[in-house]
Amino acid sequence: MAKSEETSTSASSSMADSSLRPWQSYHTVYTNAKAGMDGVDKEKVQRVVYEMSKGSKYFENEERKEAYMKQKIENMRAQCAKLKATDISHYQRVVDKRSVELEATRDLSRIWLHVDMDAFYAAVETLSNPSLKGRPMAVGSMSMISTANYEARKFGVRAAMPGFIACKLCPELVFVPTDFKKYTYYSDLTRKVYQEYDPNFTAASLDEAYLDITKVCKERSMTGGEVAEELRLNVYKATGLTCSAGVSPNRLLAKVCSDINKPNGQFVLPNDRAAIMTFISSLPIRKIGGIGKVTEHILKDVFEIKTCEDLLQKGSFLCALFSPSSADFFISVGLGLGGTDAPQVRSRKSMSNERTFSATKDEAFFYQKLVELAEMLSADMEKGGLYGRTLTLKLKTASFEVRTRAVTLQSYIWSSKDILKHASKLLKAELPVSLRLIGLRMSHFNEDKGGGTPSDPMQRTLLNFIKPGDGNREIVDEEHSDIKDSYEEAHCHAYTNPSHDHLSELDQNICSSSDNNEKAAEHHELEGNEYKDQINEDTLVENSMKSSAFDAHVTDTHSLEGKNQDHLRRIGFSANETEPSSSNHEEPFMWLDDYKCLLCGVELPPSFVEERQEHSDFHLAEKLQEEEESGDSYKKFPLKHRMMRQKEGVVGQSKGKKKQKHSPSNGKHIPIDAFFTKTSQNL
DNA sequence: GGGGATGACTGGC
DNA sequence: TTCCAGCCAGTCATCCCC
């Protein structure tokens, strides 16, 4: 949770304090330190935000989220408390080993530059309207602000703040509507400058970029600082706008550095390990890209981690409670490591449109919104030459609860007609509902972006046939999934709400007008049947291979890969629903070195008594199931399935309607974003 | 058991 | 007067099918 230092210690704040100053426990992002916000009366900002939010649906939802997070923190604290000295020393050894491995990857040979335009949208607006100069101004609307100039920031006004709250904080605030055409134009001008220093620079957004200036420094015998100075001057000459820069041996730190002397400044971190470690030692964790308000809150409240150095010092706890990839990320941040190689060009993964409106239950209105969104999305996809297979409907209810519902189709679509047809079906299953936002997202794009006919996932390509080795497995899986999709397309059109309402009527009209797609579906189904015999053969071969592989797996617990261990570790923690309880008579024989499960390799410290009990039960249940399955009559209905069916009281109804997921807080590892596969922001 | 589909959630701008 | 966006990418857990 991003909050001011004085409000971040919710654990230590007394009850008396919270009753006198309730806003102090209302965690908003608006008091988080941002460039130009030094000297802001944070308590006043927090009080105003609290007063204006109190009692609203938004506020209630924030409280729900807060309560959920507190529960999560409590769970993690309980896990921490269970760790004994021997556990901690065990995990410390793991951290030490990993630190050495990560340290070996340190590359101090590159010089990275991160450029960040100062209050970009606001600066562009001031450039085109000089009368705004010196006045507090925000780009955006009464409902949401995109950015604010430095005059407005002095009042606590900032990006992602609702305009009406900003107005309260700064009554003289001038609002300017967003104009992306203008921002794109100026962004292009800056990029022409960047190109002169690194032709392969990475644009992180309209106003941010990463440049590898190693080559230009060498060729022109200049330091990183000198290049940054010159580049900033050239950006100013080309646009009339100022920017800030950070120079460091890796992208992660370059981004942190560019924020230090904002606006119109720069900071250079030398390519020297000692300097990096000193820099990192007092750096607040929230400054790191990838550590947001939730992760910050958890790290502070559970482990009392505030600086990047603390991440290393508390490494053993992090290793014990987080997934290996998350722990790796935290350790590498503690060591001041980040990306130094040229980031790979990533293709677009999804495309979406969403619109917010006043909360309503009006189904005709929902449909009209769907029509608009489908048309917008279709137009965007056509522009990008994209065809997608997965359509996701996003809904935000009147109480700010976000739901997503997705369908993956057997064929690629792009037309507004097809998008609308499937979106209507997804929405219909959610009615009646009061909504304040509807969104549509397409994903699962075809690889062929060169136009022409979209590739059909049902079609066997030449490559499929000739691909050797492991590729065969992929072919089998693809075919299975395609046939399943065909089946669903043909059989799962029974929706939960059969009433003949507005949407269903329109739905039928659309379906009947979408003949081509239906014909394609029939065609695919025929194709699918043709391949069924081949698939059965493949499955037989696959199954026989699996059984022998399983035997080897059980006897060789030391050869488990990290990923596999992680997976099994999760199973160990989450297997608790259908397994019968059992005595722990196997316990003394299960744990290698008192940590590692002999059967699957999962690591659990001896003090995690309940978890280990559950884990033993899990393996026992597995064994029971194997025994049961050895009797032919039950082979087609494994234990889990039978129990579930009995529980539901219905047979054969599970298909087409998945159960809602359990809360992720039940799992051992909390999800942390973009750790090593960095996002564009988190390079 | 593996992998695809799905949904919730986090993070950045 | 107004009353908390829109877009994208990624991780993780769970369900389900083969």
Q: pLDDT-derived band of residue A476, with 50, 70 and 90 as boundaries?
A: very low
Share of chain A above pLDDT 90, in %: 28
A208 catalytically annotated: yes
Q: What nucleotide is nearest A64 when CA is compared to C1'?
A: B9
- A437 pLDDT more than 50: yes
| Polymer length in residues for chain A | 683
The answer on pLDDT for A99 being more than 70 is: yes
| Digit-coded pLDDT (tens) for A26-36 | 555 554 455 66
Q: How far is CA A137 from CA A131, A157, A303, in A?
A: 11, 9, 40
Q: Are strands A591-592 and A174-176 parallel, antiparallel or unpaired?
A: unpaired
**In the 8-state DSSP scheme, what is residue A632?**
G
Two tokens, residue A600: 């699957």
d(CA A415, CA A453): 13
CATH 3.30.1490.100 spans which residues of chain A? 350-541
Distance CA A268, CA A254 (A): 8
Q: How far, in Å, CA of A348 to CA of A443, rounded?
A: 9
pLDDT at A530 over 70: no
A667/A571 Cα distance (integer angstroms): 9
Task: Identify residue A563 by its one-letter amino acid code.
Answer: K
Look up residue A362 and give its two tokens: 């009006």
Name which of A420, A289, A286, A287 is nearest A353 in CA terms: A420
Edge to edge, what strands does the sheet with A137-140 contain? A145-148, A137-140, A174-176
When mean pLDDT is compared across A93-97, A283-287, A518-522, the lowest value belongs to A518-522
pLDDT at A78 over 70: yes
Find residue A211's DSSP bridge partners.
A113
Q: By mean pLDDT, which of A195-204, A297-306, A602-611 is the weakest?
A: A602-611
Average pLDDT over residues A563-579: 31
Q: How confident is the model at residue A49 (pLDDT cuts 50, 70, 90)?
A: confident
Q: Which residue has the higher pLDDT, A21 or A464?
A: A21
CB proximity list for A638: less than 8 A, separation 6 or greater: A625, A629
pLDDT 10s digits, A191-243: 999 999 999 898 888 999 999 999 999 999 999 999 999 999 999 999 999 99
Quick check: A56 CB within 7 A of strand C?
A: yes
Half-sphere exposure of A667 (CA within 13 A, CB side): 15
CA atoms within 13 A on the CB side of A377: 32
For residue A669, is pLDDT > 70? Answer: no
* The token pair that represents A3 in the structure block: 């909050």
A487 CB contact with strand C at below 7 Å: yes
At residue A592 the predicted structure's pLDDT band, cuts being 50, 70 and 90, is low
Average pLDDT over residues A567-592: 37
Q: Name which of A307, A321, A355 is nearest A5 in CA terms.
A: A307
The pLDDT of A453-464, averaged and rounded, is 39
Nucleotide nearest to A349 (CA to C1'): C9
Q: How confident is the model at residue A118 (pLDDT cuts 50, 70, 90)?
A: very high
A61-70, A122-131, A238-247, A620-629 — which is least confidently predicted?
Answer: A620-629
Q: How distant is the alpha carbon of residue A305 from its chain centre?
A: 22
pLDDT value at A470 more than 60: no
> In this structure, how many other beta carbons lie within 10 angstroms of the beta carbon of residue A38?
9
What is the pLDDT, as a whole number, of residue A77? 87
> What is the per-residue pLDDT for A371?
93
**For residues A33 and A317, what is the distance between their CA atoms, to the nearest angstrom?**
28
Evaluate if the CB of A391 falls below 7 Å from strand C.
no
pLDDT tier for residue A301 given thresholds of 50, 70 and 90? confident
| CA atom of A21 to C1′ atom of C1, Å | 29
A75 CA → B4 C1’, Å: 31
pLDDT of residue A220: 96
Q: What is the pLDDT of residue A264?
A: 93
Q: What is the mean pLDDT of residues A257-275?
A: 93
Start-end of CATH 3.30.70.270 domains in chain A = 112-135+172-268
Of A125, A151, A208, A611, the active-site residue reads A208
Residue A506: partners with Cβ closer than 8 Å, 6 or more residues away: A367, A424
**Taking residues A80-86, what's their average pLDDT?**
87
How confident is the model over A358-382, as a mean pLDDT? 91
| CA A369 / C1′ C2 distance in Å | 23
How sure is the predictor about A599, in pLDDT bands with cuts at 50, 70 and 90? low
Q: What is the per-residue pLDDT for A515?
A: 35
Question: What pLDDT score does A612 carry?
Answer: 63
Q: Which residue has the higher pLDDT, A584 or A347?
A: A347
Quote the CA–CA distance of A287 and A301 in Å, as a whole number.
Answer: 17
- The residues, any chain, with a CB within 8 Å of residue A302's CB and separated by 6 or more, are A73, A76, A77, A80, A321
Chain C nucleotides reached by a protein CB under 7 Å:
2-18
**What residue is closest to C10 (Cα–C1')?**
A674
Q: Give, as ranges, the nucleotides of chain B with any atom within 7 Å of a protein CB.
A: 1-13
What's residue A598's pLDDT?
Answer: 63
Instruction: At A178, list the tokens.
Output: 């967003």
Residue A180: exposure state from Cβ atoms within 10 A (0-12, 13-18, ≥19): exposed
Biggest CA–CA distance in chain A, Å, is 84
- C-alpha–C-alpha distance, residues A648 and A385, integer Å: 45
Residues of A 298-327 whose CB lies less than 7 Å from any atom of strand C:
323, 325-326
CATH 3.30.70.270, domain A112-135+172-268, yes or no:
yes
Pick the more confident residue, A439 or A627. A439
pLDDT for res A235:
96
Residues 435-494 of A with CB under 7 A from strand B: 444, 473-474, 477-478, 481, 485
Mean pLDDT (chain A, rounded): 70
Return phi, psi of residue A144, to 5°. -155, 140
Distance CA A405, CA A82 (A): 39
d(Cα A542, Cα A309) in Å, to the nearest integer? 49
Looking at CATH, the fold of the domain delimited by A350-541 is given as Dna Ligase; domain 1 (3.30.1490)
Confidence of residue A22 (pLDDT cuts 50, 70, 90): low
List of residues 6+ apart from A330 with CB closer than 8 A: A311, A315, A318, A322
Residue A150 has pLDDT above 70, yes or no: yes
